[in-house]
Amino acid sequence: MKILLKKCWFILPILIFLACSSEQEIQQLQNVNSKTEHGSRASLKPIGTGVMMQAFYWDVPAGGNWWNTVKGKVQDWSNAGIDAIWLPPATKAQNGSFSMGYDPFDYFDFGKYDQMGSIETRFGSEKELKSLISEAHNSNLSVIADIVLNHNSGGQSEVNPVNGQANWTKFEPMSGRFTRDFNDFHPNYNYNNDTGVFGGFPDLSHSQIRVQNELWKNPESVAKYYKNVMGFDGWRFDYVKGFEPWVVREWKNEVGGFSVGEYWDGNAGTLDWWSGQAEVSAFDFACYYRMRDAFQGNNLNRLNDDMLWKRNPNKAVTFVANHDTDEIYNGKMLAYAYILTHEGYPTIFYSDYEEWLSKERLNNLIWIHNNLAGGNTSILYTDNDEYVARRNGHNNAGLVVYINNANHWQERWIQTNWSNTRIKDYTGHSNWEPITQGGKWVKIQVPPKSYSVWAPK
């Protein structure tokens, strides 16, 4: 027995060496696979040169087929001028196959582990998600991940020694990654929203170094796994009011990629402040609310009001609707005509594009945005039901957009940037082809409850 033990001790280091070598080889193979299975990033369109597609809506069909649905559309979207798709939160949440992902439980379960009542997420399996990302990349589209960093859900109860109360802060996900307990959450989380709770969920404490390491700093952090293994290219940060701007800034500085935050506030100054602190883009809620006031309230003078795109167009992501605001209101196509001819990075909402509005008209506006809408903006005229603005051109001729919220045709003399030049309406709503005067003035027209976009023929 002693001889046998001695032989085992002699053989053991060799076995450990071989096992380690094998593990290193497997890891190398995994690293190679992670670089290829989600397609090549070399040919991706630069984000911001086209239009983003929000590739979901609230309560998309359950059953695990959403990734396949989106996969079947990405090439057509790319052909239309989309440059990136924004996907819903992709990992397993408390409500399993019924969840839209905003109640995150396991940041590393993309539809692989049997937990929370299902293997797949509402949207599909990990394999199907990787296939979608690969197809998007092959179609030259970047893929934006929706990241929920404020709150977690689905933990087991444990006593928090800080307050002596039982809280739902014990997380032991089947992936075995980023296990959590009360130390990782705000110790006073269960008192009110300002001190660490969102919708009854415990809030992560980003001041904890371990939380930072697990979320973005470590080589196998959430951020790096999303980017290097799954193939995501950028980030949409959910509910950034719930934590400090430096969290988003550090994440972005660590892993790179296009980043935009959901700071739900209609004050353009506040959005500009947050964007500056986080050093990323922000959804332009100020623009959203002013457009709703203008088109639904029949007062296009509201388009003169302050918006993030007017303060910092390079940081403004404009939108007409999203999964939280997917209401149908009067003048929605006029609102799309506004954001797709003005500064900022515009977003198309899936339901508007695929179901509710004219895809042909939206494709036309996307083309106009990508080919004509360059340079800064000059507002030429506004009243209750008319709005005229000029894009002054940057590596292109620019354009003039005329929006009409009245029930009758309208005409107006406006000053362009073009002398003695024949122009036309690139929407096809008017068949006029006037020639601008030597002083660059010209009369243009617009149909009722519609818009026209003018540029040199």
pLDDT of residue 395: 86
- Classify residue 442 as left (phi > 0), alpha (psi -120 to 50) or beta: beta
pTM: 0.90
Taking 80 as the threshold, does the pLDDT of residue 29 lie above it?
no
Q: Which CATH number fits domain 380-456: 2.60.40.1120, 3.30.1280.10, 3.40.1440.60, 2.60.40.1180?
A: 2.60.40.1180
Taking 70 as the threshold, does the pLDDT of residue 188 lie above it?
no
pLDDT of residue 24: 38
- pLDDT digit string, tens, across residues 383-434: 999 999 999 998 889 999 999 999 999 999 999 999 999 999 999 999 999 9
Taking 50 as the threshold, does the pLDDT of residue 309 lie above it?
yes
pLDDT of residue 198: 58
Q: Give the C-alpha distances (Å, rounded to integers) separating 295 from 290, 301, 365, 416, 453.
A: 9, 10, 18, 25, 18
40-374 is classed CATH 3.40.50.300: no
User: Token match 């519609």: residue?
Assistant: 450
Contacts of 194 (CB under 8 A, 6+ apart): none
Across residues 341-351, what is the average pLDDT? 98
Contacts of 375 (CB under 8 A, 6+ apart): 391, 392, 393, 394, 396, 398
Closest CA to 278 of 309, 246, 241: 246
Beta-strand pair 377-382/386-391: antiparallel
Confidence of residue 199 (pLDDT cuts 50, 70, 90): low
Element (H, E) at 363: helix 359-371
pLDDT of residue 27: 40
Enumerate the CATH 3.20.20.80 domain ranges in the chain, comma separated: 40-374
Looking at per-residue pLDDT, the higher value among 189 and 53 belongs to: 53
Distinct helix (H) and strand (E) counts, the chain: 13, 21
**Tokens of residue 219, six digits:** 């080589």
Distance CA 72, CA 75 (A): 7
Enumerate the CATH 2.60.40.1180 domain ranges in the chain, comma separated: 380-456
pLDDT of residue 308: 98
Phi, then psi, of 39 in degrees rounded to 5 = 80, 170
pLDDT of residue 266: 97
Q: CA angle, corner 318, sides to 314 and 319, nearest 5?
A: 165
Looking at per-residue pLDDT, the higher value among 133 and 193 belongs to: 133
Across residues 148-168, what is the average pLDDT? 90
Taking 80 as the threshold, does the pLDDT of residue 329 lie above it?
no
- pLDDT digit string, tens, across residues 114-133: 999 999 999 999 999 999 99
In percent, the amount of the chain with pLDDT more than 90 equals: 82
pLDDT of residue 292: 93
Distance CA 69, CA 55 (A): 10
